[in-house]
Amino acid sequence: MTDEGKSRLHAIVEGHVQGVSFRYFVLEQADRLNLTGWTRNMWNGEVEVVAEGPRQDLEVLLQRLWKGPPMARVDHVNVDWQDYTGEFSGFRVRLTTS
């Protein structure tokens, strides 16, 4: 598969998104879409997501980030589209940033 059509999504999810399994929701959605990258809680209560793959699959992930798992309340998703790097081999949950 070529890298053509691939992109990187960097998103910061705001709202009631910690303590509601949001990161594991992101992990499950990314795995279903065969995306690579990571997600983590941030010290300020937000969740950060970096995902790479076909742009159309990243768009699907973004729609799902706006919804979140059942106990979450998403107020806003800050999105930054970046160039695909191919640096990840899978998708994982990272430790919280300090």
The residue ranges of the chain whose pLDDT is under 50 are: 1
Is position 23 annotated as part of the catalytic site?
Answer: yes
Nearest C-alpha neighbor of 77 from the set 10, 25, 1: 10
pTM of the model: 0.94
pLDDT of residue 96: 87
pLDDT of residue 17: 98
Choosing from 34, 41, 55, 78, the catalytic residue is 41
Q: Tell me the C-alpha distance between 25 and 81, whole Å.
A: 21
Q: Tell me the C-alpha distance between 4 and 11, whole Å.
A: 22
- Report phi then psi at 74, rounded to 5: -95, 120
pLDDT of residue 85: 97
Tokens for 10?
A: 């960097």
pLDDT of residue 50: 98
Q: Tell me the C-alpha distance between 69 and 8, whole Å.
A: 22
Choosing from 23, 34, 40, 94, the catalytic residue is 23
All domains of the chain, ordered by start, with CATH? 6-86 (3.30.70.100)
Is position 64 annotated as part of the catalytic site?
Answer: no
pLDDT of residue 98: 61
